[in-house]
Amino acid sequence: MGQRRTDLAMEAHALWQEQAGEGERLQGVRAREERVQGFAAHVVDVLDQRGADALGKPQGRYVTVELDGLLRREEDSFARAVQAVAQLLQPMLPPTGEALVVGLGNRAITPDLVGPLAVEHTLVTRHLVEGLAQFGHLRPVAALAAGVLATTGVESGRLIQALAAQLRPACIVAVDALASRSVERLCRTVQLSDTGIVPGSGVGNHRMALSRETLGVPVLAVGAPTVVDASTLIMDLLGRQDDEGLPGRELFVTPREVDSRVADLARVIGYGVSLALNPELSVEELTLLVE
């Protein structure tokens, strides 16, 4: 018997609330909402093991920002979305030191392209900071699109582990595609967390965890939901609490315009991560440097 599948802490919290009833309060979890650059942001703090067990999420902070205006092409929506991601991510980062940005995902599968595409829009500065004095004001940033086991023959986690051992970064920022409970959140939502990430967990293909425990440095996770588990979608449509007898557990639903939506979202994430790491830059300056 399966439950609704979601990688978003805000959805896991909402599911718990639905099952427990509105009058109940989840111990070990604190949730609140705020507005950032005109977008709704949901903050879920998993405070202790009680909360971790209830939500199925490690202890830490999860911030989900809903970028609806970006999908509607509102005026200045791209710049505001970039600033929102940067503003929410920056407090999770160590204040100084080199950063390694890692894009996780399979380039052959469009909904899994968020990570590799985000790396292409990330400002890489490590070689400039080390080699040219005029770039010394920038934070050193390296980037890697790790690939997947099926195309490289090596766990992405092992590649990242080996590179981190050589570079000794102050932190790692891992970007990956996620699974949502709701079609409405696909390709318009970004989740940031300070708990690391397990590549492939959204589609039931768990790989080596990327975390402080496995890599020896803080790992920040930036994810965007691009798929919904089909059985989860059917359960919500039918009002069911389990998937017993329902089809679709190994099928996933993604938006029809997934190509353009993933491209737009990956650009926002790449710029947002870059701005969080080098906040003295503007979105316009990032465009000149990255594009």
Angle, CA of 134, 135 and 139, to the nearest 5°: 155
Tens of pLDDT, residues 10-37: 999 998 998 887 778 899 999 999 999 9
Tens of pLDDT, residues 68-110: 888 778 889 999 999 999 999 999 999 999 999 999 999 999 9
What is residue 132's predicted lDDT score, i.e. its pLDDT? 63
Treating both helix axes as pointing N-terminal to C-terminal, what angle do 258-277 and 283-290 enclose, rounded to 10 degrees?
110
Domains and CATH numbers, the chain: 9-290 (3.40.50.1450)
Tens of pLDDT, residues 50-74: 999 999 999 999 999 999 888 778 8
Tens of pLDDT, residues 127-180: 888 766 667 789 999 999 988 888 888 888 999 999 999 999 999 999 999 999
Indicate the pTM of the whole model.
0.91
The number of C-alpha atoms within 13 Å of 170 and in the hemisphere containing its C-beta is 13
Tens of pLDDT, residues 208-252: 889 999 999 999 999 999 999 888 777 777 766 666 666 656 788
Tens of pLDDT, residues 108-137: 999 999 999 999 999 999 988 876 666 778
Tell me if 93 sits within 8 A of 277, measured CB to CB: yes
Nearest to 66 by CA among 39, 89, 38, 33: 39
Distance from C-alpha of 219 to C-alpha of 217, rounded to nearest angstrom:
6
Nearest to 28 by CA among 63, 57, 67: 57
Tell me if 89 sits within 8 A of 272, measured CB to CB: yes
